[in-house]
Amino acid sequence: MATVRGCNIPENLYYWVEKHAWALPMDDGTVKIGITDVAQNLAKGIVNATPKDTGRTVQKGKSAGTLESGKWVGPVTSPVTGEIVEVNEAMKGNPSLINSDPYGEGWFVKVKPTDWAGESAALLTGDAAVAAYQKFMEEQNLNFE
């Protein structure tokens, strides 16, 4: 796992850097999504997480739900279009999981994508994602070390 200015960037995930969202394709064809370590560091202590309900359709670039911290309220932007098939109930009950483990226990929702192959082509992974976050954090003068 790469670390950029104090933030973890696992190379196996797909990232939409500008929206601070990640996606992980699962063996069953669903895609787990969440916010990045950069996003949770910017938000600080997350106190409320409200994902959209199972069965709802989300569009790429639109909100899959909202997060609230002491200083910010904002969307979790979906990096793919599809139907929400699962909500992370543990994260809903304990939103601080997003701060402590944004890529593991703090995932947000699972989506059954309508066009993973097409939409994932626009997402960054591996070294390209690490380089994009390095550039973004330098431009924004962010450092969480």
Global pTM?
Answer: 0.96
Amino acid, res. 120: S
Q: What are 25's strand-pairing partners?
A: 31
Taking only the tens of pLDDT, the chain with its 145 residues reads 999 999 999 999 999 999 999 999 999 999 999 999 999 999 999 999 999 999 999 999 999 999 999 888 999 999 999 999 999 999 999 999 999 999 999 999 999 999 999 999 999 999 999 999 999 999 999 999 9
Per-residue pLDDT, 72: 87
d(CA 11, CA 130): 7
> Residue 80: left (phi > 0), alpha (psi -120 to 50), or beta?
beta
The predicted pLDDT at position 7 comes to: 96
Query: SS3 of 13, please?
Result: coil
pLDDT of res. 125:
97
71 vs 18: CA distance, rounded Å? 20
